[in-house]
Amino acid sequence: MGAAKAYIANLIFTGDEWLNHHAVIVEDGIIKKVLSKTDIPAGIETKNFGESIIAPAFIDLQIYGAYEKLFAVYPDTNSLHLLNKYSNSGGAAFCMPTVATNKTEVFYKCIDAIRIYWQQGGKGILGLHAEGPWINKEKRGAHIESLIHRPSLQEVEALLNYGKDVIRIITLAPEVCSREVIDLIRSSGVKIFAGHSNAAYGESIESFDNGIDAVTHLYNAMSPLQHRSPGLVGATFDHPAIKASIIADGYHVDYAAIRIAKKIMGERLFAITDAVTTSTEGYYQHQPDGDKYTADNILSGSALTMYKAFQNLVKHVGIETGEAIRMCSLYPAQIMGFDDKLGMIGRGYRSNMVLLPELLNSADELRLIS
Question: Is it true that the peptide bond before 133 is cis, omega within 30 degrees of 0?
Answer: yes
The dihedral over CA atoms of 301, 120, 170, 253, expressed in degrees to the nearest 10, equals: -20
Please name the residues in contact with 22: beta carbons below 8 A apart, sequence gap of 6 or more: 8, 9, 12, 34, 35, 36, 37
Catalytic residue among 274, 289, 296, 364: 274
The identity of residue 187, as a single letter, is S
Smallest Cα–Cα separation from 80: which of 69, 89, 90? 69
Asked about 274 being catalytic, the answer comes back as yes
321-328 and 306-315 helices, crossing angle to 10°: 150
**Whole-angstrom Cα distance, residue 335 to residue 339?**
8
**Whole-angstrom Cα distance, residue 125 to residue 149?**
28
* Catalytic positions: 274
